Structure 1
Amino acid sequence: MLTAALSALADWPVAQALTQGRWSYAAVSALHVLGIALLVGGILPLDLRLLGLWRSVEMRPLAAVLTPMAAAGLLLAVVTGVLLFSVRPLEYAQVPVLWGKLALIALGATGALAFRLRVGRDPDRAGRRLRALAGIGSIVAWLGALACGRLIAFTGS
């Protein structure tokens, strides 16, 4: 059943257009990199602040700016990631590092959502230990997903 779904994805007209157009694939790839940059560029400073860096910077306004930027980056990276995956889904599905990347993305997104549900829009409501746990977990998840994403190019067929 998974093979049939992956084959159907490869036959999707958008996937076909990406495989046949050099510039369309390059544009989607560039947008994927932009999404990753927005995500990591937004979340990493916030994680470091959760860990206690830049104590003179108030956390709530920082989170108010960086959280939506990171969320927009995640959305862009996921959409473009699916498009890139659709070009060679049967091959990519055989790459274990991809599954690690997806697990880390799920961990990072779930952790961010759980933290947000717990403290709302004010990260200062969390105790120091919870902030540290959220910050470390997020750094591990997102930098791990980033590393796995790069490794796909070197471990795939």
Structure 2
Amino acid sequence: MDFPRIEGFTALASHPWAYPALEAVHIVGIALLLGSLVLVELRVWGAGQELPLRALARLALPVTVAGFGLVALSGLLLFAAQPNEMLGNRAFLLKLGLVSLAGLNAAFFHARGSLALNDAFARAQTALSLGLWLAAIICGRFIAYS
């Protein structure tokens, strides 16, 4: 199935600075998302025990959500610039799957109350989270070369 080309988005892909600027926004979003997650994950794993876990999580959550918002918005615009090319790219499709799994893992982490439990399963969830996000980032880099 081919998506119809939308002139403004098609022009975005070939613009000399707009597309690279949008990629930069995407990377800033990734940095905010992953950086804030890693801090909470390190605390769940036992680092920085003098920091209350719930307080750290309350501080990190808005940063994580803002980072994800930037990633999602810029990602949608990057996709809209080249939808057919992206849908034909295995690295892109794998990235979408990994991001979906990371989102499901995060939803389950919070629904389960893993912050309060802070048990071995919570540590496993945070390790899975980190692995999924790193794999998604790697797939994102491979998109340009696939």
Q: Percent identity?
A: 31
Which residue does 1:29 correspond to in 2? 23
1:96-138 deviation digits (Å, cap 9, x = unpaired): 111111111111111111111221xx81x21411221221111
* Structure 2 portions without partners, runs of 5+: none
How far apart are the structure 1 equivalents of 2:37 and 2:8?
31
What residue in structure 2 maps to residue 66 of structure 1?
60
Corresponding residue number in structure 1 for 2:88 = 94
Matches within 5 A, 1:72-87: 72-87=66-81
* 1:131 corresponds to 2:125: no
CA contact (8 A) 1:35 1:74 kept: yes
State the Cα distance separating 1:12 from its structure 2 match.
2.2
- Long gaps (5+) in structure 1: none
The TM-score with structure 1 as length reference comes to 0.84
| Number of positions where the alignment pairs a residue of Structure 1 with one of Structure 2 | 146
Q: Which consecutive segments of 4 or more residues in structure 1 shift more than 6 A?
A: none
Distance 1:14 1:113, change over 3 A: farther
Q: Which amino acid aligns with 2:134?
A: L
Deviation for aligned residue 1:20: 4.4
The one-letter amino acid paired with 2:19 is Y
